[in-house]
């Protein structure tokens, strides 16, 4: 087991009166995929927003390489090597692959006030980066990002993060909107990132996807870590039950019938 890059120590998060996370303790290690599992509204997205600098913990500490850090902005988290890839990958659909790859860190050539954006270099680097993750169908850096498939866009975004030196990769339901083949693409790329020594935090509602890449699993139930285990320590059925909020599938099925009969219980929480 390698040393942890990021760890959370007794982290709590509340929004005003609403307590969302309670006493979270977690380690994110280099070359490992941490799968965050849990029902809708369990607090998974909130937890990673703490890591990506969008929110700050109400109490508790986030440590990087053992030293406490304050991640006050997404920019700061990114500077420290924590990269968040959003569900739809590239956020600039009408920019070319090469241009979007280098947003904010544009390579230029020339001198003085006549420095020009080095399109050829940008395209080459971007295409090479994404191809090195096995997406060989991307060959032209002038293509617009919006013309790529969902999986390709995710791959491009991950390749970009890795290229710019990310150490921790955060993926919130990257496979949720993807078909089987596209999802397999993304999972392969997650494995490749792991092989390169990155730490990956991966949120998914699909047990198969979690088991395909996960080394370490944390199950959140109502904002607390209900279970924390490593690969091979639990069966698929046990994990499925945990993901459903600790209830077994059998109880769930019974309760679904209950919903049908009466409308008494809480309605199912909407997806985030």
Partner 1 sequence: MTDPNPRMSLGALLRRPETGSFLGLAAVFVFFWIFGGSNFASPNGAASWLNVAASLGIIAIPIGLLMIAGELDISIGSMVPAGSMTCAIISGHFGLPIVVGIGAALALGAMVGLINGLLVVKTAVPSFIVTLGTLFAVAGLLLGLAVIITGTTSVKLQAGPEAKLLLGHFIGGVFQVTIFWWIAAAAFWAFVLHYSKYGNWILAMGGDKVSARNAGIPTDRVTIILFMCSGMSAAFVGLSQAILYNSAQVSAGQSYIFNAIISVVVGGVLLTGGYGSIFGIVLGTLTFAIVNQGIYYTGFDANWASLIIGILLLVAVLMNNTFRKMALSYAPKKKGAKA
Ligand X SMILES: Nc1ncnc2c1ncn2[C@@H]1O[C@H](COP(=O)(O)OP(=O)(O)OP(=O)(O)O)[C@@H](O)[C@H]1O
Catalog residues that contact ligand X under the rule CB under 6 A.
15, 18, 20, 38, 40-46, 271-272
CB of 201 to partner 1, least distance (A): 18
Query: Applying CB under 8 A, does 81 fall inside the site for partner 1?
Result: no
Q: Shortest gap between Cβ of 82 and partner 1 (angstroms)?
A: 12
What are 244's two structure tokens?
A: 């459903």
Q: Annotate 200-220 with three-state secondary structure.
A: EEEECCCHHHHHHHCCEEEEE
Q: Residue 184 touches which of partner 1, ligand X, Mg ion, none (CB < 5 to 8 A by kind)?
A: none
Q: Which of residues 7-66 bind partner 1 (CB under 8 A)?
A: none
Q: Is residue 112 a contact point for partner 1 (CB under 8 A)?
A: no
Among 35, 78, 166, 169, interactor with partner 1 by CB under 8 A: 78
Binding to partner 1, residues 181-240 (CB under 8 A): none
Give strand pairing partners of 59.
12
Who contacts 174 (Cβ-Cβ below 8 Å, separation ≥6)? 85, 87, 154, 186, 190, 202, 204
Pick the closer one to partner 1 by CB: 122 or 213.
Answer: 122
Please report the sign of the dihedral spanned by the C-alpha atoms of residue 87, residue 92, residue 93, residue 95.
negative
Residue 117 touching partner 1 (CB under 8 A): yes
Q: Please enumerate in sequence order all residues whose Cβ is within 8 A of that of 110, keeping only pairs 6 or more positions apart, or say none.
A: 116
Rounded to an integer, what distance in angstroms lies between the CA atom of residue 101 and that of residue 126?
6
Choosing from 142, 233, 237, 238, the residue that interacts with partner 1 (CB under 8 A) is 142
C-beta closer to ligand X: residue 148 or 244:
244
Q: What is the DSSP letter of 233?
A: S
The answer to whether the beta carbons of residues 212 and 189 sit under 8 Å apart is: no
Residues at the interface with partner 1 (CB under 8 A): 73-75, 78, 91-95, 99-100, 102-106, 108, 115-117, 124, 127, 137, 139-140, 142-144, 146-150, 153
């Amino acid at each position: 087991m390698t040393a942890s890059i990021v760890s959370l120590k007794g982290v709590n998060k509340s929004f005003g009166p609403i307590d969302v996370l309670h006493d979270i303790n977690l380690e994110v290690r280099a070359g490992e995929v941490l799968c965050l599992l849990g029902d809708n509204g369990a607090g998974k997205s909130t937890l990673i927003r703490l890591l990506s600098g969008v929110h700050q913990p109400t109490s508790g500490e986030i440590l990087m390489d053992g030293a406490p850090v304050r991640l006050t902005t997404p920019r700061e988290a990114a500077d420290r090597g924590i990269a968040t890839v959003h569900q739809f990958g590239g956020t600039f659909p009408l920019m070319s692959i090469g241009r979007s790859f280098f947003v904010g860190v544009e390579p230029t050539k020339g001198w003085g006030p006549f420095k020009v954006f080095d399109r050829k270099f940008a395209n080459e680097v971007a295409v090479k980066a994404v191809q090195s993750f096995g997406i060989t169908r991307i060959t032209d850096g002038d293509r617009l990002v919006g013309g790529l498939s969902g999986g390709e866009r995710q791959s491009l975004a991950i390749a970009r993060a890795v290229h710019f030196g990310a150490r921790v990769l955060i993926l919130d339901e990257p496979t949720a909107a993807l078909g089987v083949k596209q999802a397999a693409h993304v999972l392969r790329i997650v494995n490749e990132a792991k092989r390169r020594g990155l730490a990956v935090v991966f949120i998914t509602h699909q047990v198969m996807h979690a088991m395909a890449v996960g080394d370490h699993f944390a199950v959140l139930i109502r904002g607390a870590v209900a279970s924390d285990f490593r690969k091979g320590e639990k069966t698929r059925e046990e994990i499925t039950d945990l993901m459903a909020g600790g209830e077994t599938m059998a109880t769930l099925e019974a309760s679904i019938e209950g919903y049908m009969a009466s409308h008494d219980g809480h309605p199912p929480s909407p997806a985030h």
